[in-house]
Chain A
Amino acid sequence: MKALTIGGVGVVSPAGWGLAALREFLARDEAVVPEFLERTTSAGDVIRTPMARVPALADRALLPKLARLRRASSVGKFAAAAALEALGPERKAEIEAGQLRLGVICSMMNGCVNYSNRFYGEVLADPAVASPILFPETVYNAPASHLSAMVQCTAPNDTIIGDGAEVFLALDLAAEWLERGDADAVLVVAPEEADWLSAEALGYYDRRILPGEGAAAVLLEKDGAGPRLAAVPDGVSYALEPDRTRALKRLWSQLSAVDDGFTVWADGRVGVPRLDAAEDSVPWCGPRISTRLMLGEAMGASAAIQLVAAVDALQQGVYRQAVVTSVGGNQGVGGCRLVAAE
């Protein structure tokens, strides 16, 4: 088996569109300034929910030219922009020319909530006139479908759903595809969009969680020049180990992370002690990147944003290794370890 390497990354986050915006934001070491979503209930109450939003797109070149995206909601656009950045123009051209088979794996938790919200609202008002344009875009795999259409590639395309640790399962599946030869390269994308439905939903877990949104993409390939994927252990399911601290401990032992000062840990802490307890229990003196503390909780996208931040830290030559972990809400814990390119 050849080594699996990261051939490119892309990201859209409340820090902005693109990796440079994320890097610059993380370097400032600040938390994002929330906006407030406001709505009025049928009882006349006004509900205001803080949220870390992706800023409006300033440069149209960051979004691919694709007719399908005209109808897509934010989640599809975030995914496409992150994918485009991760692929880069040369690989995109190779794929479009049929020289490279690109598999696509989309990892999500929340899915296409904007259009689901709108469409179901129309159904409740009068199903006889609910929009047929909205409904197909509510389906979980609509963003993934747009990505394959974007590069005109018929190779396998899967959408997997789960909690906030799902992206590691996507990496594992990508490794499987590459090993089997189902694809020459695999794009793992984790996009999420938020609106009042999901933003308020997070508040039921803890009001201190700042809802976020965005997308992150990593391109996996064989024997490339980028950082190497060194381990993606099986996620530890809460069906097997309901205690999150013990579940993370079990995962951690398989990650073989070394606290040597040259390894960075991109953790999944959100700033709520109860929810961060598992990761806080790991004895770690080395450097950490905690993107959720700064960018908010973007559900399925957050761990992928952590992953992109870790890859970027390795590519900057600051660290030799990186571990990335996420303690999911109701499925399990997951993680991976990366090694800097030689």
Chain B
Amino acid sequence: MAYLPHQPRLSSTRPVVITGAGIHTSMGAGFVENADGFRAGRTAFREVDLFDVSRQRVGSAGQAAMPEQPTGRSGMGREWERWDRGTRMAWAAAREALSQAGIRGEMPVCVGTSAGAMPIGEDYYRAALEGTRRGQWSRVETYQPQRQMTRMMASLGIGGPLRIISNACASGANAIGQAFHLVREGRAERVLAGGYDGLAQMVFAGFDSLQALSPSGIPRPFDAQRDGLAIGEGAGFVVVESLESARARGAQVLGTLLGYGAATDIHHLTQPHPDGDAALITMTAATRMAGLEPEQIDYINSHGTGTPLNDVAEAHAVARWAGESVSEVRLSSTKSSIGHLLGGAGAVEAVICLMALQGQWLPANVNVREVDPVVKFDLVREPREAEVRYALTNSFGFGGANATLILGREVER
């Protein structure tokens, strides 16, 4: 990763594969539980009991069950207590990905998060208001996401440069995209990449203040009567590796990473350009990089928050990107099942794309009653069997961060 002008790169571009994947969401712990849930078209929302929601317009979210505290590792018990919800879920997903890849050691880590360890910061704030000093150093220290991720890396036996990307709700996709570039261009043999966010009162109240949360607690992306999103929490991680390296060590290849696009929507801090201009840029860039045409994409896992403005912008972008073949585009938003995981969304949804590629089925955009007229594509409302060779996933965030990833099933094309 270092910039040392005299050092030549290993190659200009080379094939990139995924050799490990891990996930933790309100749908379940691990790849299998989540795949079963999405395959069955389940939803996973519940009343929030982590903080007081009695004065909020909305009281539910995709609140996840916490991973079990690991046992048998010296010192891990104390460290675990210093971690917030997000880091614990990140640890669980990263551990699963590394275990599946069968790898440890020195490698760069790219992580996306929007809120970091916000709940610890909230604890610090409340204690500071009271003038309490006891425990405050620990809260200040552990509130910082780089501290949490550095310790997480150490506990997983990973060392190497750590890159934490905080591009709001596109962070997780950006992290995997940056890992893709690092491997593709020979800057790294493999990278642990992913995203995470845990529920936090301030963020929950923030989206509620914007009236972005669905009052019913049930998000209905692309429904004509959609009324907002549901917040979720969780983590998704993948081991991104060069094909050459994976083959050399006999690693199982779960899928390929083929394209990545990133752009900035400068229309407004929180609202997308109505025609989805930046989304069109990232989708076009990613498909070009993958060497594919839009009609070759078998499935799109959309950003699809369920807010009125986002879904219209994305639908327009998809229609412009696909052109005449838009009706053939099969698309769903899995946020309808687990909510919007903010900084973790892009990474979790990339892992869901891997599930679709591996299992040859399409996850559903559940809860839709009447499809919005803006939808010109094939909105997948029930899980279905399908041939899936290439999947595309979109992530858009506050501040205009837009990102698109393309994953493939087969190593050779």
Query: Do A and B originate from a single complex?
Result: yes
Residues of chain A at the chain B interface (Cβ within 8 Å): 1, 3-4, 41-43, 45, 47, 68, 104, 108-109, 116-117, 119-120, 123-124, 126-128, 130-132, 135-142, 144-146, 148-149, 152-163, 166, 169, 171-173, 175-176, 180, 182, 197, 200-201, 204-205, 229-235, 237-240, 254, 328-332
Q: Which 10 A-B pairs have the closest CB atoms?
A: A41-B131, A240-B159, A145-B399, A135-B206, A175-B3, A140-B166, A330-B147, A232-B3, A331-B146, A204-B137
Which chain B residues (137-170) contact chain A, with CB distance < 8 Å? 137, 140-141, 144-147, 150-151, 153-154, 158-168
Q: Flag whether B130 is at the interface (Cβ < 8 A).
A: yes
- Inter-subunit contact B140/A231 (CB<8 Å): no
6 contacts between A and B (CB under 8 A): A124-B126, A136-B206, A141-B397, A159-B167, A233-B2, A254-B4
**Residues A331 and B153 in contact, CB atoms below 8 Å apart:** no
Known A4-B3, A141-B166, A330-B146: A154·B210 in contact at CB below 8 Å: no
A231 to B7, CA, bound (A): 10
**B106 touching A240, Cβ below 8 Å:** yes
Contact partners of A4 in chain B: CB under 8 A: 3, 5
Q: A123-B202, A135-B205 are in contact. List 20 more A-B contacts (CB 8 A).
A: A41-B130, A42-B130, A124-B126, A127-B209, A128-B55, A132-B211, A141-B398, A149-B400, A154-B266, A157-B264, A158-B401, A161-B146, A201-B136, A235-B161, A237-B159, A237-B162, A239-B159, A240-B160, A330-B150, A331-B162
> For residue B159, which residue of chain A has the nearest CB?
A240
The interface residues of chain A lying within 8 Å CB-to-CB of B147 are 163, 329-331
Chain A residues, Cβ within 8 Å of B158 = 239
**Interface residues of B, CB < 8 Å — how many?**
72
Contact B3 A332 (CB under 8 A): no
Asked whether, in the complex, the Cβ of B162 is within 8 Å of the Cβ of A332, the reply is yes
Q: Which residue of chain A has its CB nearest to the CB of B105?
A: A240
Chain B residues contacting A233 (CB-CB under 8 Å) are 2, 4
Q: Are B5 and A42 in contact (CB under 8 A)?
A: no
Q: How far is the CB of B359 from chain A (nearest CB, A)?
A: 33
Q: Is the CB of A176 within 8 A of B181?
A: yes
C-alpha gap A117/B124 in the complex (Å): 11
Known: A161-B145, A254-B2, A331-B150. A148 touches B266 (CB 8 A): yes
Chain A residues within an 8 Å CB radius of B248: none
Q: Across the interface, do B144 and A109 meet the contact criterion of CB distance under 8 Å?
A: yes
